[in-house]
Chains A and B, each alone.
Chain A
Amino acid sequence: MGELASLDPEAQKILAKYDQKRAATLPLLHLAQDKVGCVTPEVEAWVSKWTDVPVVRVREVVLFYSMYRQRPAGRHHIRFCTTTSCVLMGSEKVLGYLKKKLQIENGAVSADGKVSLEEAECLCACEMAPMMQVDGKYYGDLTEKKVDEILEKLK
């Protein structure tokens, strides 16, 4: 809980922006997840405390949205687009290569904890298909060689 308590001043600022407390649910979950690494029961209780939303309700919200994680991601998180334009431009081959290289499937973290992989629906950067996000940053026109270079630079 100590970790979360350090976020209290920020939580107060967020709450001040909204007309109703419960509207702060999503931003508070983002804030806490960024700090803790995932949404733990403690995070849910902390959000519940600030928003006056019952914990079960907070939990429903957590489960509804794909960006909230129950388990920690890798040090770097990849979202790999698997929708129409990316498939047209050869995403399947590059994704297959990436999985083999990292030896992981969708939703998993690499053995060294460095990278986690999430297959995503259109990330709305189809002009650079096939594309992925690493820690939110866009990488497009992917090839196997480009994937090698990107992964190499990750610490």
Chain B
Amino acid sequence: MTEPILSRNFNVPNAWKLSVAGPRGAYETARKVLLAMKPEEIVQTVTASNLRGLGGAGFPTGKKWQFLPKDNPKPVYLVVNADEGEPGTFKDRYILERDPHQLIEGIVLSAFAIRSHKAYIYIRGEYVEPYQNLKAALDEAYAENFLGKNIFGSGWDLDLVVHRGAGAYICGEETALLNSLEGGKGFPRLKPPFPAIVGLFGCPTIINNVETLACVPHILKNGAEWFANLGSPGNGGTHLFSVSGHVKKPGVYELPMGTPLRQMIYTHAGGIRNDRALKAVIPGGISAKILTAGEIDVKMDYDGLKAAGTMLGSAGVMVMDETTCMVKMLLVAAKFFAHESCGQCSPCREGTGWAYKVVQRIYSGEGDLRDLDTLLKVARNMEGRTICVFADAAAWPIQSYITKFRKEFENYILNHKKAGAVHG
């Protein structure tokens, strides 16, 4: 296994304090780079590293930064997406809570690269303890002049504000996040225009995930090539995989991109609890299509999972053993999407509500075999017709659970119906 990079301080007590993180190298890279490199050089290095956004979409970070308009008179904002909410994902929480200086250093470097003097961190409202550690780290960074005016004597200023969300999954979507940060409801915006052109307060804005920005100091310290070589072709670096569910050792695992899923489950996470048989795995947060036990010989990176018909998404790996009831798991997913739809688009609002009702009916033993095709039809009607991809994401569990476990759904419906008939 490679040396931990992003997680190197996770098990060091009090690494969220500068007194611990400082001697372990925090801000050393930022100090050097701000005095020695030009912003364009940083953008080039990050581009060459093949760093891809770790918030779910996998968009190349350097390329995104280059979308900013040249010669623009308005302020440029850097917005950090710390609204982690994708079920099955908890990696950003580890960075925020255990190593916030790593993130702040990444913000300093990235803001400098995109010539931004103001950055906001949008942190999930329910993250109380992570917020406290992040806020303490921010105050320390200001006190040491790692933030504020004339940072490291470079003549360059940066203000950083931490903004707490208030409980709405959809605010993780970048344009909903902007609306929320501006003080409104978390409604996603139509794209284009993309935030790099018209973002926060109508100004050019770069939005990046916590983990994405935490990679930046390491890339600048060790070089683009070093980072690119850590992962698989086109998928640079290591990634923090959140592994949970029926494994012996759930947790955050930092592994190279492209690590086989089987190895992740059986070697790193210790295998299935009580040595039971594996039934299914969700590889990238609740929105990713499910894989059956026979489909786990895949590489965990953007391209590998795409080839397997699913996605890396947020890299939240949820493992289900043979005792799992797929009807119940679809009920849980359908409830999630029905609760969290922002309600702006009718295919999404109505589709998620209807799907949840039909699955509830099946789960309670009042289902009919025809309900399965109804669900697939509802799902089809939600895809590709809405403002954001939440509706597509809501369709994928329905489609993949029912298609891949159709027999189980049919048996469930028939068996529970019989029981119902006996009781009249």
Query: Is this pair of chains taken from one and the same complex?
Result: yes
Q: How far is B164's CA from A29's CA once the two chains are assembled, in angstroms?
A: 11
Q: Which of B88, B129, B244 contacts A138 (CB 8 A)?
A: B129
- The answer on a CB contact under 8 Å between B201 and A127 is no
Cβ–Cβ contact A19 & B118, under 8 A: yes
User: CB of B231 within 8 A of chain A?
Assistant: no
A121-B180 contact, Cβ under 8 Å, with A26-B165, A27-B164, A87-B329: no
Type the 1/0 row for A29-50, where 1 means its CB is closer than 8 Å to any CB of B. 1100000000000000000000
Residue among A22, A85, A123 making CB contact with B126, cutoff 8 Å: A123
Find B90's partner among A22, A125, A136 (CB 8 Å cutoff).
Answer: A125
* B166 adjacent to A84 (CB under 8 Å): no
Would you call B185 and A60 a contact (CB within 8 A)?
Answer: yes
Nearest Cβ distance between residue B177 and chain A, in whole angstroms?
A: 12
Contact mask for chain B residues 229-256; partner A; CB cutoff 8 A; 1 contact, 0 none: 0000000000000111110001110000
| Alpha-carbon separation in the docked complex, A12 to B11 (Å) | 39
Most buried by B among A67, A88, A128: A88
Asked, given contacts A79-B126, A122-B87, whether A88 binds B168 with beta carbons under 8 Å apart, the answer is no
- B183 neighbours in A (Cβ, 8 Å): 20, 22-26, 51, 53, 61
A30 adjacent to B169 (CB under 8 Å): no
A84 with B329: in contact, given A19-B118, A125-B93, A127-B252 (CB under 8 Å)? yes
CA A106 to CA B46, docked complex, whole Å: 47
A-contacting 9-mer, from B297-305, B331-339, B382-390: B331-339
Chain B residue, CB-CB nearest to A91: B332
Restricting to B126-159, which residues have a CB under 8 Å from any CB of A? 126-129, 159
* A20/B201 in contact, CB under 8 A: yes
Q: Is B161 an interface residue (CB 8 A)?
A: yes
Q: Are B201 and A83 in contact (CB under 8 A)?
A: no
The docked-state distance in angstroms from the alpha carbon of A30 to that of B125 is 9
Q: Distance in Å from the Cβ of A111 to the closest Cβ of chain B?
A: 26
Q: Is the pair A84, B129 in contact by a Cβ cutoff of 8 Å? A: no
- A19: nearest chain-B partner, CB-CB: B201
In the complex, whether A89 has a CB less than 8 A from a CB of chain B is yes
Q: Using Cβ atoms and an 8 Å threshold, which residues of chain A touch B360?
A: none
Residues of A within 8 A of B333 (CB): 84
Report chain A residues within 8 Å CB of B201.
19-20, 23
- Picked from B90, B125, B328, the residue with its CB within 8 Å of the CB of A126 is B90
Given contacts A23-B181, A124-B124, contact A30 B164 (CB under 8 A): yes
Contact residues in A for B185 (Cβ distance below 8 Å): 60-61, 64
The chain A residue with its CB closest to the CB of B314 is A124
The reply to whether B180 and A85 form a contact with Cβ atoms under 8 Å apart is no
Chain A residue numbers with a CB within 8 Å of B242 are 126-127
Q: How far is the CA of A119 from the CA of B184 in the complex (A)?
A: 25
Question: Is A124 in contact with B84, judged by CB distance below 8 angstroms?
Answer: yes
B366 within 8 A of A: no
B316 part of interface (Cβ distance < 8 Å): yes
B320 x A88 contact (CB < 8 A): yes
- The answer on a CB contact under 8 Å between B87 and A121 is yes
Residues of chain A lying within 8 A (CB to CB) of residue B181: 23
- Whether, in the assembled complex, B89 has its beta carbon less than 8 Å from a beta carbon of chain A, the answer is yes
In the complex the two chains form, is A127's CB within 8 Å of B165's CB?
no
Q: Judging by beta carbons under 8 Å apart, are B340 and A65 in contact?
A: no
A97 interface residue (CB < 8 Å to B): no
Contact A84 B182 (CB under 8 A): no
- Whether A82 is near chain B, meaning CB under 8 Å from some CB there, is yes
For the complex, is B199 an interface residue (Cβ under 8 Å from A)? no
Q: Verify A88–B318 contact, CB threshold 8 A.
A: yes
From the candidates A121, A125, A129, name the one contacting B169 in the complex (CB within 8 A): A121
Interface centre among A79, A84, A136, by most chain B C-beta atoms within 10 angstroms, is A84
With a cutoff of 8 Å between Cβ atoms, the chain B residues found around residue A19 in the complex are 75, 118, 201
Q: Does B22 contact A (CB under 8 A)?
A: no
Q: Is A100 located at the chain interface by the 8 A CB criterion? A: no
B90: chain A residues within 8 A (beta carbon): 124-127
Contacts of B329 in A (CB 8 A): 84, 87-88
Interchain residue pairs A-B with the least CB separation, the first 4: A136-B128, A25-B183, A66-B167, A65-B166
15 A-B residue pairings within 8 Å (CB atoms): A19-B201, A20-B183, A26-B183, A29-B166, A30-B125, A53-B183, A65-B167, A84-B333, A121-B339, A124-B90, A124-B92, A126-B87, A126-B250, A135-B128, A137-B129
Binding site for A on B (CB under 8 A): 75, 84-90, 92-93, 118, 124-129, 159, 161, 163-169, 180-186, 201, 242-246, 250-252, 282, 286, 316, 318, 320, 324, 328-329, 332-333, 335-336, 339-340
